Amino acid sequence: MAMVTTDAAAAAGKLPEEEKPDYASYNGASAADGGARARRGGGVVDSVVVRWRREDMLDKSPLALHAAAAVFAFVALVLVASNQHGDWMEFGRYQEYMYLLAIAALAFAYSLAQALRHAYRMRGGVDPISAPSARFLDFVGDQVVAYLLMSALSAAVPITNRMRSAVINNFTDATAAAISMAFFAFVALALSAVVSGYKLSKQTYM
């Protein structure tokens, strides 16, 4: 009888494991809530960092794209202008190649001027042209010059294909290389037009 009483008293004085209070909370918040807040805070910081990187890339991309377009257009210009081998192998005998030469020169001058402008802006922090006008100029200028390059390519490709189907020599190889360089210049300006169009769409005033 004494043993039963002792066991009952011990059982009554000891709390089951599931009835013990949870001391993991702090200031009314559980550890899980704290972890959730930490994850939310980290997500905000990550989103801000990603946004800064994206804005930095958009700020630097016009310089890189216009510089690339200037290089490609210059190579196309040199290839066409130096493609003179006598008789029928003279670029001046074909209006298509004269047109390609003129547009490559225009693309080179425009892209070089834009690259120098963006380099000056990034180095000095001030754009020679006001921000609204500069973004509009980038958007329109890139599209116009890219369209002219594509027009010149469309004129030069058919005649070059006909020549290369008959004979392949230094003249046809040089014209094909010039067309390739002009196409790369077109791609660079087209990408620049996309970037400038995005910036223009984000502009809140004109």
**Domains of the chain, earliest start first:** 60-202 (1.20.140)
Share of the chain above pLDDT 90, in %: 43
CA angle 182, 62, 140 (to 5 degrees): 70
Residue type, 37: R
Model pLDDT, residue 138: 86
pLDDT at 123 over 50: yes
CA angle 77, 143, 180 (to 5 degrees): 35
Residue type, 165: S
pLDDT at 164 over 80: yes
Task: Mark 14-42 as b/e (b = at least 16 C-beta within 10 Å).
Answer: eeeeeeeeeeeeeeeeeeeeeeeeeeeee
pLDDT tens, position by position, 63-111: 999 999 999 999 999 999 998 887 888 888 999 999 999 999 999 999 9
Region 173-178: mean pLDDT is 94
Q: What Å distances lie between residue 53 and 46, 49, 50, 142, 191, CA to CA? A: 11, 6, 5, 24, 18
How many residues are there in the chain?
A: 206
Please check whether residue 115 is in contact with residue 66, taking contact to mean a CB–CB distance below 8 angstroms.
yes
CA 22 – CA 19 distance, rounded (Å): 9
Name the band, by pLDDT with cuts 50, 70 and 90, for residue 1.
very low
Q: What is the DSSP letter of 14?
A: S
Model pLDDT, residue 33: 57
CA 69 – CA 115 distance, rounded (Å): 9
Model pLDDT, residue 50: 53
Name the band, by pLDDT with cuts 50, 70 and 90, for residue 24.
very low
Burial class (CB within 10 angstroms; exposed 0-12, middle 13-18, buried 19+) of 115: buried
Of 74 and 139, the one with more pLDDT: 74
Model pLDDT, residue 91: 87
Name the band, by pLDDT with cuts 50, 70 and 90, for residue 45.
low
When the pLDDT of each residue in the chain is averaged and rounded to a whole number, the result is 78
CA 114 – CA 101 distance, rounded (Å): 20
